[in-house]
Each structure stands twice: as structure tokens, then as C-alpha cells.
Amino acid sequence: MQSLKDQTLHQFDRIVVIHNVGSLGPMNQCTNDLTDINVWHDYYDLNVFVPAILNGVIMQIFNEKTNTEKLVVNITSLYGTKPGKYLSYYCSGKAAREMFFKVFAVENPEINVLNYSPGPVETDMYYEICNDLADKQVKTEFKDMLTKKTVLTCEQTVNRLLMVLKEQKYKSGDHVDYYDEL
């Protein structure tokens, strides 16, 4: 960010910001056992506070004076709208982060904001769920998607994201899932 401050910001016609960072947090305790505030702090620091603050810093740099067109994509999840057992950190963090970007969208109507939910994608995170989630039924469902090869590749979900962005059929701030028909 410091290096950007030294640039001539006017040379950027447009910026694209993708908030992709994400972690699952511990997946072996139910809500009543989540009493260690340090674990909550660590989880929310990475998954909610850092994206929110980073976004603010970028918007302060590319402010109204630079007249830069802005696209901001928050990578969210179905689990930001649907509860999953033993996934309190992940579900609540995704919901909070998504709502932050919805507020950001209504406050900044000139900025194009998308909350994109990429579907089940074969990444390290996906294998973490297959290995560590305490909910055996959901764990089995995730493993089944691997064996049946119905899990998505990164390429598939990125192509869908590009299509969603190209078609522009969503309203700024909306949650759009890989499987949504727009």
C-alpha cells in the first residue's frame, strides 16, 4: 500500500479488488464450547477485520479525487447464509463479512460490489473439511463429491465468476452463487 501512495494514482483507470482470503477455523467444537476469546479474535482478525480494513485503506487511496472505476468482489460462501454444525467460526465470519460488503455497496453506489459464492471447489480448504469436520454426515457428502467428481475446479468457478461480472445481471452488493441462474 505504501508503494501505491508514491505512484501517480491517476494512471489507474480502474481497479479490481478481490477479497479471497479465508480459513475455516476449528471444526470440532459445538457453539457451547467456543469460549476462548483468543480463538475468536484470531479467526475474526483474518476473516473479517483484515478484509474490512484493507478495503477501507484501498478506498482511501483510490478516493473520489482519483476518479478510478472500482470493482470489489468478496469471496463468500453458502455457509454465510446457511448454518453448518461445528462451523460457527466459518458461518458467522462469512455472514459478517458479507454484510459488511453489503453496507459498503449501499454507501458507495458508484462502486460495483459482488459477494460471490464459488460453490464447492477442490482446494486445500475443501480437503480440510473432508479431513477435519466433526459432522460425519456432511464430511461424507464432501468426500462423495470428490469421488463422484462433482466438486468444481478453480477454473470452473473462476470462469463462472467472469461470466457473472460480464453479464452484470446482479445488483451491487448481491450474493451470487456459482449455481444461481441470473
Ligand X SMILES: NC(=O)c1ccc[n+]([C@@H]2O[C@H](COP(=O)([O-])OP(=O)(O)OC[C@H]3O[C@@H](n4cnc5c(N)ncnc54)[C@H](OP(=O)(O)O)[C@@H]3O)[C@@H](O)[C@H]2O)c1
Q: Which residues bind ligand X (CB under 6 A)?
A: 20-23, 46, 75, 77, 118, 120-121, 123-126
CB count, 10 Å around CB of 80?
20
Three-state DSSP at 147 gives: helix
Nearer Cβ to ligand X, position 9 or 121?
Answer: 121
Q: How far is the CB of 170 from ligand X (least distance, A)?
A: 17
Q: How far is the CB of 93 from ligand X (least distance, A)?
A: 9
Q: How far is the CB of 79 from ligand X (least distance, A)?
A: 7
Nearer Cβ to ligand X, position 68 or 117?
Answer: 117
Chain center to CA of 72: 11
Strand order in the sheet with 175-177: 14-19, 69-75, 112-117, 175-177
Nearer Cβ to ligand X, position 68 or 87?
Answer: 87
**The C-alpha cell that represents 72 in the structure block:** 470489489
Residue nearest to ligand X (CB): 22
Q: How far is the CB of 61 from ligand X (least distance, A)?
A: 20
Nearer Cβ to ligand X, position 125 or 134?
Answer: 125
